[in-house]
Chains A and B, each alone.
Chain A
Amino acid sequence: MTELAFEPTIDLPVQGEVINTPSVTVSALPIAGKLVLRAEGDAIAKAVKKALKLELPKGVTDLTRADGIEAMWMGPDETLLVCDIDQLAATQAAIGKAAAKLHHSLVDVSDYYISMQIQGAKAREVLAKHVPADMHPSAFVDGTVIRTRFAKATAVLVARGDDTFELMVRWSFAQYAAELLRVSCLEYA
C-alpha cells in the first residue's frame, strides 16, 4: 500500500454510544474492512476455499467464517466479506491472487457501510419496528445475515447471539438510522 504523507482524518457519521437503556443499547462499531466479491459458479468458491480456508456462503441468510473473515450471502453471485481493517489488504490480495484467472470482481467497500451494534433484551423489538423481515428468533436465527430494509435505508443485519445484532447501513444513511434507533429505544429508557 502507498504511504500517505499525512494522517487522514475522517468524520464518521455515527460515533460511540448512540443510546443506552436498561434493556437495549445502541453503539457504533469501528470501521471494518469490507469487500464485495461478485462471481458466478463454483470455481471461485473452490479457489477462495483453497486460499483462505473460507467456505463461501451458498444461499440466503448464510454466513460463514474463517480466520477472522466473515462471508455474507448478498445475492446469488454476490458475497460481502468483512474482516478487521488491518487484515483488509492481505485478504484482498489473497483472494485476488486465488481468483486471478477466473472471471470476477473484488471491490473494497470499507467506507460503504457504517455498522452499529444493537444489544439487549429489547433489541429484536427495536429492530422489528423498522424492518419488514421477520425478526422473531425462530425466523432470524443467530449466526445468520439478512439483507433487508431498515425504515427507508437498505440494510444488512447480522444476528450474533445473546440478543446482539449488527446493523449495516450506507454511510449517507447512518445518521438517519442512528437517530431513528435512538428514538425507537426511548420507550425503554
Chain B
Amino acid sequence: MFVIECPWCGKRDQSEFITHGEAHIARPTNGHEMTDAEWGDYVFFRDNPKGITRERWIHTHGCARWFNVMRHTVTEEIFATYKPTDPKPELPEGSE
C-alpha cells in the first residue's frame, strides 16, 4: 500500500484514490484541421514510459478533487503531487 499526499487533504491511503492516466494532455485547438490519425493519437494513445511519468489522480473517497502525481513506473516512488493549476515540478536530479 502507498501513502499519497493529496494537495488539499495531506497524506492518505492509496485506496482513497483512483488514477485516470497521463496528465498534461491539452485538447487540440485546431480540431477542424486534424486528420483521423491525429485525433486517434490525441484520444487513445498515451506514453508508456519505463521511468518517470506524470499522471492525473482523483481523491475519490476524500475531497473528490483532481490533482497530478509525478511517479516512477518501476520503483513506484512518488516524487511530487501537485494541483492541476500548479506548474510542472522539476524532474528529480539524475533522471532522464
What residues of chain A have their CB less than 8 Å away from a CB belonging to chain B? Answer: 60, 74-76, 78, 132-133, 147-149, 154-155
Q: Which of B8, B13, B15, B60 contacts A76 (CB 8 A)?
A: B8
In the complex, chain A residues whose CB is within 8 Å of the CB of B61 = 147-149, 154-155
Are A60 and B8 CB-contacts (below 8 A) given A76-B63, A148-B62? yes
Q: Mark B26-63, 1 if CB is under 8 A from A, else 0.
A: 00000000000000000000000000000000001111
Besides A74-B64, A76-B63, A147-B63, 20 more A-B contacts (Cβ < 8 Å) are A60-B9, A74-B63, A75-B62, A75-B63, A75-B64, A75-B65, A78-B63, A132-B12, A132-B15, A132-B16, A133-B13, A133-B16, A147-B61, A147-B62, A148-B12, A148-B62, A149-B61, A154-B60, A154-B61, A155-B61
Q: Which of B9, B15, B63 contacts A149 (CB 8 A)?
A: B15
Q: Which of B10, B13, B60, B64 contacts A60 (CB 8 A)?
A: B10
Consensus secondary structure, chain A interface: strand
In the complex, chain B residues whose CB is within 8 Å of the CB of A74 = 63-64
Q: What is the CB-to-nearest-CB distance from A37 to chain B, in angstroms, rounded to a whole number? A: 15
Residue of A nearest to B13 (CB): A132
Give chain B's interface residue range (CB within 8 Å of chain A). 10 to 19
Once the chains are docked, how many angstroms separate the CA of A5 from the CA of B38? Answer: 60
Q: Mark B1-20, 1 if CB is under 8 A from A, else 0.
A: 00000001110110110000
In the complex, chain A residues whose CB is within 8 Å of the CB of B62 = 75, 147-148
Residue of A nearest to B9 (CB): A60
Once the chains are docked, how many angstroms separate the CA of A132 from the CA of B16? Answer: 8
Q: What is the CB-to-nearest-CB distance from A127 to chain B, in angstroms, rounded to a whole number? A: 14
In the complex, chain B residues whose CB is within 8 Å of the CB of A149 = 13, 15-16, 61
Contact A75 B8 (CB under 8 A): yes
In the complex, chain B residues whose CB is within 8 Å of the CB of A147 = 9, 61-63
Once the chains are docked, how many angstroms separate the CA of A154 from the CA of B17? Answer: 11
Q: Mark B52-92, 1 if CB is under 8 A from A, else 0.
A: 00000000111111000000000000000000000000000
Q: What is the CB-to-nearest-CB distance from B17 to chain A, in angstroms, rounded to a whole number? A: 10
In the complex, chain B residues whose CB is within 8 Å of the CB of A76 = 8, 63, 65
Contact A133 B65 (CB under 8 A): no
- 10 A/B residue pairs, CB under 8 Å, sorted by A: A60-B10, A60-B63, A74-B63, A75-B64, A76-B8, A132-B13, A132-B16, A133-B16, A147-B63, A149-B61
